[in-house]
Structure 1
């Protein structure tokens, strides 16, 4: 249990960084999860605490991106329902299986999503108009599995979701990014509730990261509105590939 005021403040600052990174690039856990480990939390407790804390990123991102979210209700609501159910399943998997069960496949998921993100517009042009006809069953299934991943581990779940949306929707990157923040946040919701009742959440640490991520995500959502789309998309993809390499090396070395 985090009790030191200095550690609490550092986790707030880490939350700000996580919120910024999450709202812009979908890589919030790249900042917050290592910070929780550095604060002394065991890996599973840090992962559970991080899932609860990232609800701040969702709230802050939604507040900062209200103009981009306008008019997206028809597609976002079904996706949120799908990822919420998937996130609950992922949370249960985390509680019921040995920690590290997905460590071998996670780097491949993130790496593949990063490549898809970088070539997403080309894939969308090959998708035979799927971007203009709402959600396809294949999109729903993919979103469900991303929700499972988000509830189980979550690192770079935003990259996975943004890669999916870029591949099937024809709208600005800022609007897809806003949708991504809300949809991946929904995957955390039921998982966070499940974790909250298990008694395994470090609540002071969760509060610190949540407070910071709330402000960071609000700021990030306004920043992304003014960034050029193609360099941002490529930058997120490259960052995701970097994370995939790091996680792959850690899995190999374990």
Structure 2
């Protein structure tokens, strides 16, 4: 079950994101408490993100008018702060919060590339300082939970540039890896990771990431997005039913 969940989560992340929707509930089903399951999920899916970032290293393009080094520092700092927030969140409180975090991620996945257009339509425009502040907040979210944080970054960056957001995907991948990396170090150092279950999900995630990358080239994008959205909606509904 854990291996299969890792494979599906890795494939989803390779295509459009949302792997947390599979890895987190299965780790909880395996008996881990919510905060440990969330931390273990972040650690398990981290190698796939790093691999993607390495593959994109030659394609990274900076965001116009914004320092990539500052973005990186804010992502790391925010990821660490978010991880510390998780460490001090009571299990019961986090269990109540999970459905709402999943709902936020589901809405982001559903909006997809249109998210920045929707934000522009309501009059939002970002400059350098606003982007830096938003990046720090996104880093916190990434370290605390992280579902669909990459898409959230693209949506925010779209308020500061007219560049093709697909060109910003390599930069997005590196920033997500930076935020997750800080959280992973924090979780590992504080003993919040259940390594037996995490290792199995991690192996599945690496395999699934490879398969997902190949599928994304062969299957229609609408079909893949439809399957991912179905999984995210069902998972969110189940968590709301359990919590309320």
**Deviation of the 1:27 alpha carbon:** 0.7
Per-residue CA distance 1:136-169 (angstroms, 9 max, x = gap):
2222222221211121122232332333344444
Q: Which residue of 2 aligns with 1:34?
A: 25
CA contact (8 A) 1:60 1:213 kept: no
Distance 1:32-1:246 versus aligned 2 partners, 3 A rule: closer
**Gaps (5+ residues) in structure 1?**
1-9
Deviation at 1:20, TM superposition (A): 1.7
Could you tell me whether the CA contact under 8 Å between 1:18 and 1:28 is conserved in 2? yes
Aligned match of 1:198: 190
Query: TM-score, normalised to structure 2's length?
Result: 0.75
Using the alignment, how far apart are the partners of 2:61 and 2:211 within structure 1?
A: 22
DSSP 3-state at the match of 2:5? helix
Match for 1:239 among 209, 229, 234?
229
Question: How far did 1:94 drift?
Answer: 0.8
CA RMSD of aligned residues (A): 3.8
Q: Tell me how far 1:31 sits from its aligned partner.
A: 1.8
Judging changes above 3 Å, is the alpha-carbon distance between structure 1 residues 35 and 60 closer, same or farther for their aligned structure 2 residues?
Answer: farther
Give 4+ residue runs of structure 1 displaced > 6 Å after superposition: 124-128, 225-229
**Alpha-carbon deviations, 1:28-67, whole Å to 9, x = none?**
1112112212323222221111121121121222244456
1:106 partnered with 2:101: yes
Q: 1:125 to 1:94 in 2, by over 3 A?
A: closer
Name the SS of the counterpart of 2:84 in structure 1: helix
Stretch of structure 1 that moved more, 217-226 or 38-47 = 217-226
Structure 2 gaps, min length 5: none
Secondary structure of the 1:199 match is coil
Cα 1:209–1:226 shift into 2, 3 Å: same
The answer to whether structure 1 residue 176 and structure 2 residue 168 are counterparts is yes
What residue is the counterpart of 2:117 in the other structure? 122
Supply the distance in 2 between the matched residues of 1:109 and 1:44 (Cα, whole angstroms): 18
User: 2:162, 2:220 → 1: CA distance?
Assistant: 16
Q: Distance in 2 between matches of 1:227 and 1:181?
A: 22
For these two proteins, the number of residue pairs brought into alignment is 238
Task: Indicate if the aligned counterparts of 1:24 and 1:177 stay in contact, CA closer than 8 A.
Answer: no
Match of 1:52 in 2: 43
* 2:143 counterpart residue number: 151
Q: Of the candidates 6, 14, 21, which is equivalent to residue 5 of structure 2? A: 14
Judge which range, 172-181 or 28-37, deviates more: 172-181
Cα distance between partner residues in 1 of 2:237 and 2:137 = 20
Q: CA deviation at 1:104?
A: 6.7
1:70: how far off?
Answer: 3.8
Q: Any conservation in 2 of the 1:16–1:213 contact (CA below 8 Å)? A: yes
